[in-house]
Amino acid sequence: MQNLNEKIVVVIGGTSGIGLAVVKAASQLGAKVYAAGRSQTNIDKAKAVCDDTVSFRLADTHDDASLLALFKEAGEIDYLVSAATGADRTIAPFVEQTAEQFSAAFQKFWGYTNVVRNGEAFVKSNGSITLVSGTPARKYKSGMSSLSCTGGAVEAFIKALAVEIAPKRINGVSPGLIDTAMWDVMGEEKQQKLADMTVHIPMARAGKPEEVAQGVIFAMTNSYTTGTIVDVEGGTLLS
């Protein structure tokens, strides 16, 4: 990992999970980091585990005004990252979902397009944008069609934009099943259930947010990588 001294990094969805892990990693590498989230509660929790080089702001991927305010404050951005989900996802067979339920998953995709539309002009010509996708984009399971279609749209968007915005770069990072707070609803059975859900993959465990953050740091800083999806998924795509 390279030194990020004097670099400006903006992380949308940077107050929990993978986004927060990216914020921590970039900060530890010396960057000035702006971390944005739509929950003041999550911002307060994130502040407690970050140093004072991180500036936290309220912003929503579906609120252009809040995004623009953040980007204007950050100024010239070296690396823009979005890990914000910003969507309600229904796990059920496609024919059992309403049109509203299916389309709701695409709010993640539309949120990403808002981030790029509003933020691209602020990214330096030698900078980059990194979006977080997920294995359902290329690993298909029954009941997860909305996630697969959304992820597929995100990854196609990345490749299309790589051609349009060059020499600026845009890449994606695709995590597998990652041990984050979203699984806390499982209660005391969380670790056993995560183990059961990943026993069949080569690494035979859930990933850590910090491991995905390493992939994000690579994708955003490697100056000869664009239009690429970096898989951090423990071999899920092979199983």
**Predicted local distance difference test score (pLDDT) of residue 9:** 98
Tens-place pLDDT, residues 47-90: 999 998 899 999 999 999 999 999 999 999 999 999 998 778 89
> Number of helices (H) and strands (E), helices first, in the chain?
8, 7
Which option is the CATH number for 8-181+208-238: 1.10.287.130, 3.30.1340.30, 3.40.50.720, 3.20.20.70?
3.40.50.720
Give the model's confidence band at 225: pLDDT under 50 very low, under 70 low, under 90 confident, else very high.
Answer: very high
Is residue 200 scored above 60 in pLDDT?
yes
Tens-place pLDDT, residues 162-196: 999 999 999 999 999 999 988 888 898 999 999 99
Give the model's confidence band at 107: pLDDT under 50 very low, under 70 low, under 90 confident, else very high.
Answer: very high
Tens-place pLDDT, residues 117-138: 999 999 999 999 999 999 999 9
Q: Which helix (H) or strand (E) holds 63?
A: none
For the purposes of burial, counting CB atoms within 10 Å of the CB of 185, is it exposed (0-12), middle (13-18) or buried (19 or more)?
exposed
pTM for the full predicted model: 0.95
Phi, psi of 58 (to 5 degrees): -80, 130
Q: Are 114 and 120 spatial neighbours (Cβ–Cβ below 8 Å)?
A: no
Share the mean pLDDT of the chain. Answer: 96
Domain segments of the chain: what residues?
8-181+208-238
